[in-house]
Amino acid sequence: MRIVVSGASGLIGRHLVAHLRNGGHEVLTLVRHAEREPHEVQWDPSAGRLDPRRLTGVQGAVNLSGAGVGDKRWTAQYKETILRSRTESTSTLVRALLALAEQPQVLVNASAIGAYGDGGSAVLTEDSPRGGDFLAHVVQEWEGATAPATDAGLRVALARTGLLANPVGGAFGQLLTLVRLGLGGPLGSGTQWWSPISMPDELAALEFLLTHDVSGPVNLVCPEPATNLAVTAALGAALHRPTVLPAPAFALRLALGEFAGQTLASQRVVPQVLQDNGFEFRHPDVAAVTGWLARA
């Protein structure tokens, strides 16, 4: 399958490109810099520039572009960057795909379980209502930017990724470092639900969405979410390190600002659509996810 990937230099993108190529797919990558390799295609999503002719023969697309939500404090300016980086890249890619004489079969567009807001202890599926906070608004606009592709008959899968478990980057990368130093512990009360997914399952799920007839919102999380306290304890057990030092909620808010609310939010999300369509997880629960993370 000939696939174009945006956000290919990001945490997920780097691994996904290698995963797809190892699986026998041909992968083009969208880049902002001058093209250096035959597989690179230059674009400027903020200016809406992407030459459709460079995508000739593409059968599928994966859009992973967007500024990191945890990379900087959420000033008004950075919140605008978070939103615009997602909607502009999505709109630019969609326009180019629709301009092709032979349109691709599928667009897999990144999204997030932030769509649901703080759900408390309620089990959240793809049919659950949206939340009302900033990230839920971002997801609504982000996913909405794919509407022209859906209207044109493309199959569009909205990959709502949960907390990505990877040794480097993201909340798990930071937590892993603290636990290895013996400084890990629950965040806030620890009673909030976390819905993680291991990097291998994330990559396999994205490929699954490219190659299977699945559309609409799809939760990319392991089937058995757990509380933050249970996740931290499982990671400590896997690394044989104590996890008794809690990080109080007020300290997180002081250090992270508004983004701390996402760490403390409770999201008990399950991957109903993936399971209904026969996807098999390598790491189906928190013990398996943290065990892989400790070995990775």
Residue 138 belongs to domain with CATH number:
3.40.50.720
Q: What would you report as the CA-atom Rg of the chain, rounded to the nearest whole angstrom?
A: 19
Q: How far is CA 7 from the centre of its chain?
A: 11
| Residue ranges making up the domain that contains 159 | 2-295
**What DSSP designation does 213 have?**
S
Range list of H helices, 52-145: 76-98, 134-144
Average pLDDT over residues 225-254: 80
**Banded pLDDT at 174 (limits 50, 70, 90):** confident
Residue 30: strand, helix, or coil: strand
CA gap 45, 145 in Å, rounded = 13
Per-chain mean pLDDT for the chain: 92
Provide the domain count of the chain: 1
CB count in 10 Å sphere of residue 242 = 13
The whole-model pTM stands at 0.94
Q: In which band, very low, low, confident or very high, does the pLDDT at 260 lie, cut at 50, 70 and 90?
A: low
The share of the chain scoring above pLDDT 90, in percent, equals: 79
Q: 258 pLDDT band (50/70/90 cuts)?
A: low
**What value does the mean pLDDT take over residues 67-71?**
84
